[in-house]
């Protein structure tokens, strides 16, 4: 029979067995955290795909695997350190006097607080990833079923729920880790609520403007809109801002309040999209050739199948070195951004070739 009596040998306020158990759990956790997190994600994905469909299985696993991995690591690590709690308690990290009493911070107490701190963070992160999964699966379903109103509300709802979730986590950490009296803190926040509201005035206005946009239905996702000099397709309506993608791929982030306060044109509902293009024309060209050039440009643009009505080409203004030709034409409002970009590029290229030939 092997002799395991050495495991009970005392070793600095613990036994040899305690230290070996701590080291073994630590080593196993380090190597098993990824396989265990994959297994937990696979086992829990059954409920998720039952609600959303099997095609979202991979999305679910990829979103929650990392938070599960670190949450598992923190929980098992907390269990492992219990084997050497007494030696850790003997390590003094800090001494101070509070209200006439001498207080001491031991390593074991600090580790307990760290485990609770990171445990709360990874648990909230796990719930946040679950919200992301629900949002992405439901947004895809809304897109397939052509439910525009639902697709518009989902991003805003997700953002609001995430804010609420992290606020709850923040107060949870204050109470559990730092020992803050949460009811007293909330009462104090009520007293300073006016100052906080004034500081967050712009954010609150943009948040309320988001609901105004959704309620008025002045525009929606995938609509082409124009706000002053900005023009593009609506990609996302958030609780603070709206993302607008122009035809050349530029992303504009516009505060919701600006969309509500200023004059906005929904080009998709108008049925037509007006395009304006400015090109320089050197003064060296003879006057009689300008009329011929304008006629050729109108003819070439009219040949484009998607161009509606008759295009307009005029000398709009003058600069120090050249005339400025203004080319104006209309396209159907239901074209995608890629189709718009292709047509605009083709017309601009042909116009540039005509102007270059006229100036040579």
Is the pLDDT assigned to residue 95 strictly greater than 70? no
Residue finishing a domain among 146, 167, 188: 146
**Residue 331 and residue 292: Cα distance in Å, rounded?**
25
- 162 domain residue, yes or no: no
119 and 236 co-located in one domain: no
Please write the tens of the pLDDT for every residue from 301-356. Answer: 888 878 877 888 888 777 777 888 888 888 887 777 677 788 888 888 888 888 88
> Is 156 part of any domain?
no
Q: Shortest CA distance to 94 belongs to which of 85, 86, 105?
A: 105
| Alpha-helical runs (H) found in the chain | 16-52, 57-81, 85-89, 107-144, 148-176, 182-191, 193-199, 201-216, 256-261, 267-270, 287-302, 337-359
Cβ(36)–Cβ(72) under 8 Å?
yes
Residue appearing with tokens 């101070």: 96
Please give the model's pTM, rounded to 2 decimal places.
0.68
Mean pLDDT, range 99-124, rounded to an integer: 86
- Beta strands 265-266 and 224-227, pairing class: antiparallel
Q: Would you say residue 249 lies in a domain?
A: yes
Kindly state whether residues 105 and 130 are assigned to the same domain: yes
State how far the Cα of 346 lies from the Cα of 280, in Å rounded to an integer: 18
Any domain includes 160: no
> Over pLDDT 70: what percentage of the chain?
89
The residue assigned the tokens 């297994």 is 39
281-285, long-range: CB within 8 Å, 24+ apart, which pairs? Answer: 281/315, 281/322, 281/323, 281/324, 281/325, 281/355, 281/358, 281/359, 282/321, 282/322, 282/323, 282/359, 283/321, 283/322, 283/323, 284/359, 285/358, 285/359
Residue 132: what pLDDT? 92
Report which DSSP code applies to 12: S
Are residues 263 and 309 both part of a single domain? no
Separation between Cα atoms, residue 329 and residue 277, nearest integer Å: 9
Other C-beta atoms closer than 10 Å to the C-beta of 317 total 11
Is residue 201 in a domain? no
| Contact of 68 with 126, CB cutoff 8 Å | yes
* DSSP state letter for 102: E
Structural domain contains residue 232:
yes
pLDDT score recorded for residue 270? 59
Please check whether residues 20 and 140 belong to one and the same domain. Answer: yes
User: Which of 118, 146, 174 is the endpoint of a domain?
Assistant: 146
Q: Is the dihedral of CA 305, 311, 315, 319 positive or negative?
A: negative
Q: pLDDT by residue (tens digit) across 265-314?
A: 887 765 677 788 888 888 778 777 888 888 888 888 888 878 877 888 88
Q: Give domain status of residue 205, yes or no.
A: no
Q: How many domains does the chain have?
A: 3
Whether 108 and 234 map to the same domain: the answer is: no
Sorted by sequence, the CB contacts under 8 Å of residue 330 that are 6+ apart come out as 272, 273, 274, 275, 307, 308, 309
Nearest to residue 239, comparing CAs of 132, 133, 159, 335?
159
Query: 280: domain CATH number?
Result: 3.30.70.100
Same domain, 9 and 142: yes
Burial 138-152 (b: 16+ CB within 10 A, else e): bbbbbeeeeeeeebb
Domain span at 261 = 210-268
Domain ends where: 146, 161, 184? Answer: 146
The C-alpha angle with vertex 31 and arms to 29 and 36, in degrees rounded to 5, equals 70
Residue 227 sits in the same domain as residue 115: no
At residue 74 the predicted structure's pLDDT band, cuts being 50, 70 and 90, is very high
């Amino acid at each position: 029979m092997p002799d395991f009596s050495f495991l009970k040998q005392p070793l600095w306020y613990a036994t040899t067995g305690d230290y070996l158990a701590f080291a073994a759990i630590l080593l196993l956790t380090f190597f098993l955290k990824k396989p265990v997190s994959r297994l937990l994600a696979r086992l829990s994905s059954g409920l998720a795909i039952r609600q959303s469909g099997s095609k979202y299985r991979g999305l679910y696993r990829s979103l929650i695997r990392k938070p599960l991995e670190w949450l598992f690591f923190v929980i098992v690590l907390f269990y492992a350190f219990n084997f050497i709690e007494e030696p850790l308690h003997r390590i003094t990290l800090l001494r101070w006097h509070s209200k006439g009493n001498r207080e001491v911070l031991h390593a074991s107490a600090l580790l307990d607080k760290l485990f609770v701190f990171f445990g709360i963070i990874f648990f909230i992160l796990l719930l946040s990833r679950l919200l992301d999964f629900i949002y992405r699966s439901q947004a895809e379903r809304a897109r397939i079923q052509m439910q525009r109103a639902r697709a518009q509300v989902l991003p805003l709802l997700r953002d609001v729920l995430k804010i609420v979730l992290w606020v709850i986590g923040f107060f949870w950490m204050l109470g559990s880790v730092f020992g803050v009296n949460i009811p007293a803190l909330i009462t104090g926040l009520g007293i300073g609520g006016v100052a906080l509201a004034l500081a967050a005035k712009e954010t609150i206005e943009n948040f309320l403007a988001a609901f105004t946009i959704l309620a008025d239905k002045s525009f929606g996702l995938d609509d082409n809109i124009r706000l002053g000099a900005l023009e593009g397709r609506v990609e996302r309506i958030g609780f603070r801002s709206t993302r607008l993608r122009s035809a050349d791929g530029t992303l504009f982030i516009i505060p919701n309040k600006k969309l509500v306060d200023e004059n906005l044109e929904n080009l998709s509902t108008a049925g037509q999209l007006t395009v304006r293009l400015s090109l320089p024309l050197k003064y060296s060209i003879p006057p009689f050739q300008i009329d011929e050039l304008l006629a050729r440009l109108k003819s070439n643009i009219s040949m484009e199948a998607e161009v509606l009505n008759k295009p307009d080409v005029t000398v709009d203004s003058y600069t120090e070195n050249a005339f400025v030709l203004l080319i104006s034409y209309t396209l159907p409002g239901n074209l995608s951004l890629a189709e718009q970009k292709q047509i605009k590029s083709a017309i601009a290229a042909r116009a540039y070739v005509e102007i270059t030939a006229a100036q040579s």
